[in-house]
Structure 1
Amino acid sequence: MAHPSRAEAASGSDDGAEIGVLPRRSAPPTPPRTPDEEAILTIWREVLERPDIGVLDDFFDLDGNSMHAIKVISRIREAYGVSIRAIDFFESPTVAALAAFVAANAPSERAVVRPRRPDAEPVLSFDQHRLWLVDQLVPGGAYNVHGRRRLLGPLRVAVLETSIREIMRRHETLRTRFPDIDGEPLQVVDDLDEEWRLRVVDVSDADDQVRAAERVLDEDAMASCDLAQGPLFRALLVRLSDTDHVLGITAHHTVCDNGSVALFVKELSALYRADGDPREADLPPLPIQYRDFAVWQRELLASDTVARQLDYWGEHLAGAPAELTLPVAERPAAVNGSADSADSAGDGGDGGSGSGGGGGRVRSALPAAEATALRELCRATDTTVFMALLAALTAVLGRWSGQRDVVVGVPITGRLDAGTRGLIGLFFNTLPIRMDLRDTTTFAEALTRARESALGGYGNADVPLDLVVRRVRPPRIADRTPLFQVVLNVVDSDRSSNGLGDIDDEPMDSPVMPSKLDFVLTGKELDGEIPLELEFDADRYDEARMLLLLDEVRALLRAACADPATAVFDDQPHHP
């Protein structure tokens, strides 16, 4: 599966000095000509959430991004049993090309998640077990995921409570705990407590109601969970007035990730608008539960597929630096030994709190004009916004640190088949993407390296980070995550809620959770601008320096859009 680079087609040259923009399609979309094209076109329409697609349209000209591509690949594998490498998809990203590839290739060996056998052991998933070990080493740590939404309007509290109860009934993870039996945890799912009630706190008498509500919600978000006794999920409604409430949900990371929060809000929206009646809400059935996934994952980890992927990571990370040494931070001294499973339990950018330092947050954005120019550059170079941000971020980190070989953590979803797609639980993984820019001089070269590294990582994403750490065995550094200390995440716009009927439903900021990471940079794919949010370790960095880092990333992207041959380094490291 290959075609000429769009950069060459658009610029008329192959030296990368001038990259043009492909024209948008003016003709009607080409309809499907075979059953395979029709089926794959349906997948594209569902993932991209747009109907106006033809079988010859380029995926990235339709504003598809890296995560969209991963979802399409997983759904094709689910439908046909055929594995498509990420690099193959990027080389020929049309429905017609994918249908031809499917027709020419045999089914792969990777099975989808199915219900476990009745006699299967109640095992934990690999990441659940890792987090359980962390809790044994540091009992009482608030390793939580938290989300909150402002609800404006005449809220029906009883209907809200009924809706939350139904979500708890549907998803076993929200009723799960992990008792210790002879030194090993078991996954126990409790029956839904008929006495469960939504906790309501009234702050309507406070002078500053919003601040009072935030204080109550922050305390709940930071409160620890007892993994053995539970509950590991809780919901809290704060009443500011009859028509102003804030709903906060908190769960231990063993049973929830950030994707779960979005699923929770989506189901809550459907149930509330249906008066809490699951039949009227028309939620899709859940063919499996998280315990089924845990059993399946344990079997997958013993397969040849994972062994091959571990070989990839061992080669990819061979000789990589153990730590990013930015001059703006004081560093702890290295200790003897190498990293083990407990050390690798950082939150990976997924929003869990831990035992690290206090957190800070700064924001910036690529305004619409800059975002449009960046997307045009990405279309012309067969790349994505994520890849461009990865190139720019690592180049700036290289300037600041003097290191031109950097490893960045990249969160990736594990919800890659029909069974897990609508399931609340812990599914994310973090890929240690290495950007070796020692032989790189221009942004175009850095972008090519970002593309290669990202596609290699996507194609070997079944291996949990902890197994990669065990394979690579980087030096262990006190209070630091192994392999990487910086995370980059690019997410879609928040479409998790369709509102609660006559209630205006708005997401609110959550507190910045403590973390062992230096910082997490999150970009959000919107139709216009691209917001950038940087959450950082406030014990190591200050807001001014973090804003300067965002400014340098933006400046490099602006320069690269004007001229991809822009130099990414100068002779001296920067010391902001």
Structure 2
Amino acid sequence: GLAAVIREGTDSPYEAIKPAEKQETYPVSSAQKRIYVLQQLEDGGTGYNMPAVLELEGKLNPERMDRAFQELIKRHESLRTAFEQDEGGDPVQRIHDEVPFTLQTTVLGERTEQEAAAAFIKPFDLSQTPLFRAQIVKVSDERHLLLVDMHHIISDGVSVNILIQEFGELYNNRKLPALRIQYKDYAVWQEGFKTGDAYKTQEAYWLKQLEGELPVLDLPADHARPPVRSFAGDKVSFTLDQEVTSGLHKLARENGSTLYMVL
């Protein structure tokens, strides 16, 4: 299986990703390149926005919140990154030393919370920093909403959770340990990895697996697929019992994969 192929190509000892040398621009990761192309095709849409809403109870200190966001911007290069094309037309990322950021404030007024959140979500221009924005919505003196929106090209579900956790630490004036590497260091590492034997072995495996005519994905939906994608979606949460969970972990171990891959 794939796990065996990967093991054959990764017998070399573990080597930590190193900080990249300073450059004018840096390569994008394969994931970023995919999102960049899709965003250009969508042309100003919000399908790759990642909005989140946090409910804040009690008295709020807007100045401390703004300071916490400014510290996050200094800490994470992704929050100071914009994307452009090089002379060959390939996307690259440019990291800015400073970016214009303002913590927006508004009052809920006659709107519903859903309406306030919907009005907050707007398209991003990938060539302009920052690719995230934040807004405080005052519901009452003791209750506020913190709206945060980031583009998927600089974030994912894991990184959003990290940013929210670190925001809370910084808001409470706690010190955070320095970061050894940033995401652009991974992108540079990945660019080098693509020239190695391990990558070529994996590439050959998938080209073999996916050769020939591929079937059209036919999801068993209870409605017809619309001619134009709306990007509307939802989520369903459920809990697996201990027996099933243990079985999934066992299956992952046996196949040399992560639980995420099994699911």
Give the TM-score category using the shorter length. 0.7 to 0.9
Pairing of 1:418-429 with structure 2 (within 5 A): none
Instruction: Name the amino acid aligned to 1:192.
Output: E
Instruction: Indicate yes or no: 2:19 matched with 1:125.
Output: no
- 2:104/2:134 contact within 8 Å kept: yes
Instruction: Indicate yes or no: 2:107 matched with 1:202.
Output: yes
Q: 1:186 matched to which residue of 2? A: 92
Q: Name the TM-score, length of structure 1 as normaliser.
A: 0.39
Counterpart secondary structure, 1:145? strand
Instruction: Name the amino acid aligned to 1:220.
Output: F
Pairing of 1:413-452 with structure 2 (within 5 A): 451=251
CA distance in 2, matches of 1:365, 1:255: 29
Give the direction of change, closer, same or farther, for the CA distance of 1:456–1:323 in structure 2 (3 Å limit).
farther
Instruction: Indicate yes or no: 2:183 matched with 1:290.
Output: yes
- 1:120/1:295 contact within 8 Å kept: no
Counterpart secondary structure, 2:55? strand
Q: 1:220 matched to which residue of 2? A: 120
CA distance in 1, matches of 2:245, 2:84: 49
Q: 1:158 matched to which residue of 2? A: 63
What displacement does 1:137 show? 2.7
- 2:28/2:184 contact within 8 Å kept: yes
CA distance in 2, matches of 1:358, 1:136: 16
CA distance in 2, matches of 1:235, 1:130: 26
Q: 1:148 matched to which residue of 2? A: 53
Instruction: Name the amino acid aligned to 1:202.
Output: V
> Residue deviations 1:228-249, cap 9 Å, x none?
1333111111111111111111
What displacement does 1:294 show? 1.0
Pairing of 1:320-339 with structure 2 (within 5 A): 321-326=215-220, 328-330=222-224
Give 5+ residue unaligned stretches, structure 1.
1-84, 88-105, 275-280, 334-354, 388-450, 462-487, 490-576
Counterpart secondary structure, 1:149? strand
Give the direction of change, closer, same or farther, for the CA distance of 1:315–1:452 in structure 2 (3 Å limit).
farther
Q: 2:7 matched to which residue of 1? A: none
Counterpart secondary structure, 1:359? coil
Give the direction of change, closer, same or farther, for the CA distance of 1:455–1:220 in structure 2 (3 Å limit).
farther
* Mean Cα deviation higher: 184-193 or 237-246: 184-193
Instruction: Name the amino acid aligned to 1:307.
Output: K
Give the direction of change, closer, same or farther, for the CA distance of 1:305–1:159 in structure 2 (3 Å limit).
same
Pairing of 1:98-109 with structure 2 (within 5 A): 108-109=12-13
CA distance in 2, matches of 1:377, 1:137: 41
Task: Name which of 132, 139, 156 aligns with 1:257.
Answer: 156
Give the direction of change, closer, same or farther, for the CA distance of 1:331–1:149 in structure 2 (3 Å limit).
closer
CA distance in 1, matches of 2:153, 2:58: 34
CA distance in 2, matches of 1:303, 1:155: 52
Pairing of 1:344-423 with structure 2 (within 5 A): 356-357=229-230, 359-361=232-234, 363=236, 365-366=238-239, 371=240, 374-379=241-246, 382-384=247-249
Instruction: Indicate yes or no: 2:129 matched with 1:230.
Output: yes
What displacement does 1:458 show? 4.6
Pairing of 1:513-552 with structure 2 (within 5 A): none
What displacement does 1:154 show? 0.6
Q: CA RMSD in A?
A: 3.3
- 2:79/2:132 contact within 8 Å kept: yes
CA distance in 1, matches of 2:35, 2:25: 19
Q: Name the TM-score, length of structure 2 as normaliser.
A: 0.81
CA distance in 1, matches of 2:40, 2:3: 38
CA distance in 2, matches of 1:201, 1:259: 28
What displacement does 1:121 show? 5.3
Task: Name which of 36, 40, 43 aligns with 1:136.
Answer: 40
Give the direction of change, closer, same or farther, for the CA distance of 1:305–1:121 in structure 2 (3 Å limit).
farther
Q: Which has the higher contact order (CA 8 A, sep 6+)?
A: 2
Instruction: Name the amino acid aligned to 1:260.
Output: S
Instruction: Name the amino acid aligned to 2:242.
Output: R
Give the direction of change, closer, same or farther, for the CA distance of 1:112–1:324 in structure 2 (3 Å limit).
farther
Give the direction of change, closer, same or farther, for the CA distance of 1:292–1:376 in structure 2 (3 Å limit).
same
CA distance in 1, matches of 2:196, 2:34: 20
Percent identical among aligned pairs is 29
Aligned residues: 253
Instruction: Name the amino acid aligned to 2:82.
Output: R
CA distance in 2, matches of 1:298, 1:109: 19
What displacement does 1:196 show? 3.2
Give the direction of change, closer, same or farther, for the CA distance of 1:378–1:114 in structure 2 (3 Å limit).
same
Q: 2:165 matched to which residue of 1? A: 266
Counterpart secondary structure, 2:234? strand
> Residue deviations 1:201-240, cap 9 Å, x none?
112x32xx6x2x321222323x111111333111111111
- 1:235/1:247 contact within 8 Å kept: yes
Q: 2:198 matched to which residue of 1? A: 305
Pairing of 1:308-319 with structure 2 (within 5 A): 308-314=201-207
What displacement does 1:356 show? 2.5
CA distance in 2, matches of 1:126, 1:158: 38
What displacement does 1:456 show? 5.9
Flag the structure with larger Rg.
1
Give the direction of change, closer, same or farther, for the CA distance of 1:181–1:108 in structure 2 (3 Å limit).
closer
Instruction: Name the amino acid aligned to 1:361.
Output: D
Counterpart secondary structure, 2:26? coil
- 1:86/1:458 contact within 8 Å kept: no
- 1:180/1:228 contact within 8 Å kept: no
Q: 1:115 matched to which residue of 2? A: 19
> Residue deviations 1:148-207, cap 9 Å, x none?
2100101111111100110011001111111334333331122224x632101112x32x
